[in-house]
A and B are shown apart, each in its own frame.
Chain A
Amino acid sequence: MREKRSVKTESKAGLFSFKGIDISIIFVCIFLSIFCLIFVYSALAFESSDTKAFLNIINIKSSDRTLLKTAVYIMIGILWMLILACFNMKFVEERFPLIFRLVRNPIPYYALSCGMFLFIEIMKKVGGDAGGETEKAALVGGGFLLKANGAYRWIHIPGLNINFQPSEVAKFLLIIAFSIIIYNAGMSLQHKRGMLLYMAVAGIPAFLVLECSSDLSSAIVVFGILYFMMIVAAPNIKNTVLITAILILLGVLAFSSLIVMNHGKEEADIHPYQAKRLLAWIYPDEYPASSDQTNQAMYAIGSGGYFGEGIGNSMQKIKKLPEAQNDMIFALICEEMGLIGGVSVILLYLVLLYRMYAIAMTVDNLMDRMIVVGVISHVALQVIINICVVTRLFPNTGIPLPLISSGGSSIIFMYFELGLVLNIGRSIKRK
């Protein structure tokens, strides 16, 4: 691998190079970010006119504050994407072989992503819980955790006053870790034993996401990404089909048993809440409270018509559509820009995915290919799950729409991943 790279880049490599960068990906990202700014603002602008101090300097409306913050996230994200895209690994490889070997080791990535969730678990025990399922976000766990809606989805860094979502960071780190793992030990995937081992290794962080931050949807996405990477890499297709079939069977069994066990019970008595959502998906009329969110999203999409109500004119965003700036932003786009707006967003994603797909097809290094496949799976899974949720093709679950939903961690780390893809894309163009 090392030899091959040095053949590819005969010119003397500096630390950064812009050559061969895939401009279309950058443009699609910018378009999606423009959608992000418009609709995040639209979702929040009506809310209230109370002001909060921003950076302790000026008082501005809270919606303007969110808009500003999102713009800053996008700017940081794009900057880092470009830095990562232009970074020459070759340079590090030649000058600092030790660092290069460290970077090529999966353990730090893996340990960091699992460690974040273990940290949450520990802080939960140590720091104590404020108790109760409050709607408002509250600092708990010795000031290191941010609890909202009864789930611990943010880690708070006290000195810097930064909150981030460990699950978003973990997705990024795990894609790199498992690309290296597959690169190192891909041959073992030809046996069933090897695949099971891989799935076990991939299952641990997914399980931690579910257990420590009670975030089933993120856990599914994490496992899904790693699973698709495995499917592509596994040499024996028969085994892949077998294991996939077994997994689907298990999943269907689990779902149906949940449904059978809980169907008929009073809505309030059903636990866990995932079962409630599952039932509400199948029997929307019987569980009005649980299916309300999806109903509201569907009303939004339907009332938007073909051309939409006009930007800023959504009625559903006013106290009807929950998380209109976040998980439900697609419904808001459909209400304000109509079917046309919704389909254009989907097509933008398709262009983005196609450009990455083209890179994955041409790149000839296994590790690079795995990274691209991981990023493609990440974007595709989130887009599909998010839109399927608002159109009631899937049960309700909270997944942000990549690059469009507000949320700093999700935006910034998605840009990180795209930066990696661009970097890889650069190397093939130079052949």
Chain B
Amino acid sequence: MEAILKKVLKNILETLLYFKESILRMIGLRPSDKYGEKDNKSSQQVTLIRVLFYLLIVSFVVIILRLSYIVSFKGEEYKRMVYSQRQASDIVIPCERGSIYDAKGTVLASNIKEYIVILDAKQVNDYCRQMGKSAYIEATADALNKYLGYNKQEIIDFINDNPKDAYERISKEENGKVISLTSEELKPLMTAIEESKMKGSKETAIYGIQFEDSYSRIYPNNTLACDLIGYVNDGDEGMYGLEQYYEDDLKGVNGRSFGYINDYTNLERQIVPAQNGNSLILNVDASIQRIVERKINEINESMDTEDRAGSYNTGVIIMESETGNVLAMAGYPFYDLNDPKAVSADKYYSQKQIKELLSKFAISEGYVDGVSGNIFFEEDKEPYFKILNLETGMDEVVVLTEEQKDTLDNDLSGYVRDGVWKNFCISDTYEPGSVAKTITTAVGLDSGKLVPSDSYYCTGVIQVLDRNIHCSHKWGCLGGDLRMCLVKSCNPAYTVFGKKIGKETFLEYTKDFYGIKTGIDLTGEVSAHNLVFTEATLNTTELATASFGQGFNATMIQMICGFNSLINGGNYYEPHVVNRIVDANGCVIKNIEPKILKQTVSESTSEKMKDYCIGVVEESEGTGKKSRPAGYRIGGKTGTAQISGVGGYQAGQYVVSFMSFAPAIDPKIVMYVVIDRPNIPDQSSGAVNQACILTREIYTEVLPYLNIPMTEALTEKEIEELNEKGIYTSNIVIKEETEEESETDTDEMTGEAIEPVETDN
């Protein structure tokens, strides 16, 4: 016994001694045993490390397998879990989209608050359970039935079937799309709920109906500046115009209210407030815009006939000369921004045009062959086609199926919508015609290839290779010096001038004007770069036609920006619609300053160009005489261009335009008017007058509005006209009546390039 005890004691003592030695060694008070080196155990350690590392790799592989298992086999289930956890407790707090104001603060686009009706079945059920009666379900369903017309039984069933659903949007359309109701529509229901909950009310309290805010876009001025503004689609995204271009600034960030069940199964909420979108303040002045649109409508109404509308498109841009700010921009036809989908073909096109379009679509869809198919509509009869059969010489009838008819209808409405929604001023290209002569002249003067004394004697026609180019005056306008050629808009003269300028110079200068995007802050600008002459395509004939604006395409905004630089000293401004962006509190976030993109011509060239353009309006032989507004001097240039289509230029299809600036000395604004295929009988000679008249009409009201003083004497007749329009002026100077030139005479003089290009044979 004692021996054992002794042995144990000894053992303990030994161990303690061992511990003491070890600890002393550990803390370095005994010399280190240098075990790692002396006993050469490092190879064993290396093996152990390797084994442990393999174990590590194995565990990583296990982890990756586990992850793959979760993702591959449980992914769908877990994703559903994630969503189901959210649906009941996540509420979007809508943000308000930024508004759009014009330069004077007029609201062009804003929002109204509306409400989505929410049914909280959980609340109703909870109250029923608490109070021990089910009358609340009935009361809620009754109220919804009475004030909003919902099916009572469906509501009761829903509340009974979904006792845990605290959030169900019930204001819906037939197709299940959630809609919001205005406060007026909901007012009776709101009052009823409030009254039912008041003390002493005999009605059963209505629980479980809530209203969620939502915003919907309104445009107080309906069609005003529609192409400029664009609209907001059902998905709250901006479409076209400013709404799309400034989408990121306007849209804002929706807030959210997160409800979650905590450990004690209470619903807690956390709210992230919505950030409202920024607002736009435009350079556009709604008053000017309204004048422009009214005048466009008037002139189109005056040309309107049974067969077709006044014009296919009418575009007007007014720009500040010294800044490039857009004061107004309108592209007829207009549409109502509050109801952008309501653009039916009937509204914009005559029956005849619709038939033509449908025939065109039927051919392109392949329903009928050839180009001779015409669609016919007869009452009580399916629409059908008559096709001339060449072999028999008889008409064949093709009747369309329902499906084909639907396709054609879709094609038509798509075509109409596209045509109406897009902005004619920036998205459509056309041959600019004689307006381009100003650019050609400026190029010639600036490069020194032309001098003001260069003259041409016009005999009415000039031959370029195999083509004859005619002057608008059948027997020759006699021409004159450079200025007179521009004033008379003589095509043969410019054929010669173009040749004088030469291909290289012409190309080098015009690449600043044509085939480039101006950078206007609107969606949908096209550059037309593939519709412009290039080094490869600009041969002798092309150079000749390009010199007077035919044979290539441009957009309105390109032309006005280019022309503006010619008359303001050569500064090519980037056109800006928006002046500044402000946040929801009105603080300026971004100022959009005028930006000179390039210097196109020299100041002296610019002075000459101004003088020449004044000549177009003031000279007795000037083509733009009719554009002069009473009391002001302006300068400008007319343009008439044939539309090219399949098989060359289309007879009787013209785009007429007038580019102008006012006042003549020290121009403040530049205006460009384009009428696409005006509906008047004699398009060739009288058409351009429509553009001049529209210009004059707009200036007559816009210039006094801009407080630009009248400088010219007025005749009695003019004063009368002005008074009729409600414009009164203090500087009434009675000018002695000059002998009026006969109307027919003027028409002939203002007639423009008829059939500018035509082959001799």
Contacts and interface: CB of A to CB of B under 8 A. Distances in A.
A194 interface: yes
Contacts of B273: 49
Given A48-B270, A301-B67, A357 B49 contact: yes
A236 B116 CA distance: 76
B677 to A, nearest CB: 50
B599 interface: no
Interface in A11-56: 46, 48-49
B22 A306 contact: no
B583 to A, nearest CB: 15
B85 A233 contact: no
A391 B66 contact: yes
Interface stretch (A68-76, A119-127, A160-168, A360-368): A360-368
B62 interface: yes
B45 A233 contact: yes
B70 A181 contact: no
Nearest to A343: B64
Nearest to B77: A302
Interface string B8-34: 000000010011011101111000111
B71 A188 contact: no
B82 A299 contact: yes
A342 B39 CA distance: 44
Nearest to A361: B46
Interface in B121-168: none
Q: Which of B15, B21, B52, B76 has the most CB of A within 10 A?
A: B52
Contacts of B39: 187, 235
A342 B67 contact: yes
A46 B26 CA distance: 52
A353 interface: yes
Nearest to A304: B71
Nearest to A232: B48
Interface string B43-77: 01110111011001101101110111011001111
Given A315-B86, A361-B50, A301 B70 contact: yes
Q: Which of A46, A194, A304, A319 has the most CB of B within 10 A?
A: A319
Contacts of A232: 45, 48-49, 52
Contacts of A299: 78-79, 81-82, 85
Contacts of A365: 36
Given A184-B27, A228-B52, A350-B60, A197 B36 contact: no
Given A315-B82, A318-B258, A361-B50, A235 B35 contact: yes
Nearest to A105: B28
Contacts of A349: 60
Contacts of A49: 272-273
Contact of B67 (A233, A292, A360, A391): A391
A77 to B, nearest CB: 24
A393 B258 contact: no
Q: Which of B41, B75, B82, B260 has the most CB of A within 10 A?
A: B82
A183 B56 contact: no
B71 A384 contact: no
A271 to B, nearest CB: 16
Interface residues of A, number: 68
A388 B62 CA distance: 10
A186 B63 contact: no
A319 B36 contact: no
Contact of A346 (B18, B35, B60, B70): B60
B75 A305 contact: yes
B233 interface: no
A263 interface: no
B71 A302 contact: yes
Nearest to A190: B35
A299 B32 CA distance: 54
Interface in A271-310: 289, 292, 298-306
A339 B71 contact: yes
A136 interface: no
Contacts of B270: 48, 319
B263 interface: yes
B26 A181 contact: yes
Interface string A114-136: 00000000000000000000000
Interface in A326-356: 334, 338-339, 342-343, 346, 349-350, 353-354
Contact of A231 (B48, B60, B70): B48
B35 A187 contact: yes
Contacts of B737: none
A410 interface: no
A121 to B, nearest CB: 24
A157 interface: no
A15 to B, nearest CB: 25
A325 B49 CA distance: 33
A393 B66 contact: yes
B45 A387 contact: no
A104 B74 CA distance: 53
B64 A346 contact: yes
B272 A305 contact: no
A338 B68 CA distance: 10
Q: Which of A185, A292, A304 has the most CB of B within 10 A?
A: A185
Contacts of A145: none
A380 interface: yes
Contacts of A180: 28
Nearest to B69: A391
Q: Which of B37, B60, B85, B263 has the most CB of A within 10 A?
A: B60
A427 B67 CA distance: 39
Contact of A289 (B34, B64, B74, B263): B263
A430 interface: no
17 contacts: A1-B37, A184-B26, A186-B33, A188-B18, A188-B25, A193-B18, A299-B81, A302-B70, A302-B75, A303-B75, A305-B71, A315-B82, A319-B258, A320-B85, A320-B260, A338-B71, A354-B53
Given A187-B33, A188-B25, 16 more contacts: A184-B25, A194-B18, A194-B22, A231-B52, A298-B70, A301-B67, A301-B78, A302-B71, A318-B256, A320-B260, A346-B64, A354-B53, A357-B53, A361-B46, A361-B50, A364-B37
Interface of A: 1, 46, 48-49, 104-107, 180-181, 183-188, 191, 193-194, 197, 201, 228, 231-233, 235, 237, 289, 292, 298-306, 315-316, 318-320, 334, 338-339, 342-343, 346, 349-350, 353-354, 357, 360-361, 364-366, 369, 373, 376, 380, 384, 387-388, 391, 393
Interface of B: 15, 18-19, 21-23, 25-28, 32-37, 39, 41-42, 44-46, 48-50, 52-53, 56-57, 59-60, 62-64, 66-68, 70-71, 74-79, 81-83, 85-86, 256, 258, 260, 263, 270, 272-273
5 closest residue pairs by CB, A with B: A366-B36, A302-B78, A185-B25, A186-B35, A303-B79
